[in-house]
């Protein structure tokens, strides 16, 4: 997913607003979850949102997302954000996050999702790391 950073998207320093980045990330991740589940999905949590470098007005924001891990009705989606200066071509890793989505049935109740089947080394690594984060989030929820 690509977006152009426009003046109304920036703060007084000319950097994209963090809330705007979060909105774009949520939309990008939701599309991956939606396509995986083939049902409506809702955002359940956002983990480890790290802003690593600013994106400036006029930059192009490129977001990449993938379903890393699935629980019974939940999906962890990783999002990587890069910004590109279209004049110089310089690309920066702007931010990353993990979002959890829940698949819903026709009654807006959690619905089972198909398990992710990792194939490449990178997919296997993301799956295993996603499983660890899933267990951590589950444990944290149970201790509230």
| Count of CA atoms in the C-beta half-sphere (13 A) of 38 | 4
What would the mean pLDDT of 88-116 be, rounded to a whole number? Answer: 97
Burial class (CB in 10 A: 0-12, 13-18, 19+), 102: buried
Asked if residue 45 has pLDDT above 80, the reply is yes
What pLDDT is attached to residue 76? Answer: 97
Max Cα-Cα span within the chain: 50
- Residue 115 DSSP symbol: P
What would the mean pLDDT of 29-36 be, rounded to a whole number? Answer: 98
Q: How many domains does the chain have?
A: 1
Confidence (pTM) = 0.91
What pLDDT is attached to residue 109? Answer: 98
**What CATH number does the domain containing 9 carry?**
3.10.129.10
Structural domain containing residue 66: 2-142
């Amino acid at each position: 997913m690509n977006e152009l950073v426009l003046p109304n998207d920036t703060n007084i320093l000319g950097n994209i607003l963090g809330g705007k980045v979060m909105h774009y990330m949520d939309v990008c991740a939701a599309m991956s979850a939606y396509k995986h589940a083939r049902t409506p999905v809702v955002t359940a949590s956002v983990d480890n949102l790290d802003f690593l470098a600013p994106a400036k007005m006029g930059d192009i924001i490129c977001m990449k997302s993938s379903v890393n891990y699935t629980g019974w009705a939940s999906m962890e989606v990783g999002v990587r954000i890069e910004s590109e200066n279209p004049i110089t071509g310089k690309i920066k890793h702007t931010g990353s996050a993990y979002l959890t989505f829940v698949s819903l049935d026709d009654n807006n109740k959690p619905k089972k999702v198909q398990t992710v089947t990792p194939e490449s080394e990178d997919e296997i690594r993301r799956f295993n790391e996603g499983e660890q984060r899933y267990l951590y989030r589950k444990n944290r929820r149970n201790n509230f």
